[in-house]
């Protein structure tokens, strides 16, 4: 599958989003974050997530949407499903290599 390229407009939107996040003043503390997370606002309560499998059970709705990710030091536009597969394989390989050194 050929992934669309990252345009200058995509990069500009990304930078504007980061600036917007940095300017937003929201008082965050452990109690508020814990309440949001366990209420299901972040898709699943911590106890419901299956950490034992590669796929887990996060039930994300945006797995087929194209997003911008950093891959090999470059910005790439790729869907989340393909990125997750690549990231998990890379993470397992790196950890396996470090484990047997």
CA dihedral (90, 95, 98, 100) in degrees, to 10, reads -110
Q: Which residues in the chain show pLDDT less than 70? A: 1-2, 40-60, 94-101
Is 15 within a domain?
A: yes
pLDDT of residue 4: 81
Which residue range(s) make up the domain with 81? 8-99
The model's pLDDT over 44-71, given as tens digits with 9 standing for 90+, comes to 656 666 655 656 556 667 788 888 888 8
| CA–CA distance, 79 with 49 (Å, rounded to integer) | 22
State the total domains in the chain.
Answer: 1
Query: Within a domain: residue 1?
Result: no
Q: Is residue 3 part of a domain?
A: no
Residue 2 domain-assigned? no
In sequence order, the 6+-apart residues with CB closer than 8 A to the CB of 38 are 45, 46
pLDDT at 12 (0 to 100): 93
Number of H helices, E strands in the chain: 3, 2
């Amino acid at each position: 599958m050929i992934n669309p390229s990252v345009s200058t407009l995509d990069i500009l939107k990304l930078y504007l989003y980061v600036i917007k996040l940095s300017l937003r003043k929201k008082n965050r503390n452990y109690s508020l974050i814990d309440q949001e997370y366990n209420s299901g606002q972040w898709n699943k309560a911590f106890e419901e997530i299956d950490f034992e499998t590669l796929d887990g059970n996060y039930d994300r709705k945006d797995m087929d949407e194209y997003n911008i990710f950093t891959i090999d030091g470059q910005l790439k536009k790729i869907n989340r499903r393909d990125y997750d597969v690549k990231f998990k394989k890379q993470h397992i390989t790196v950890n396996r290599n470090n484990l047997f050194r």
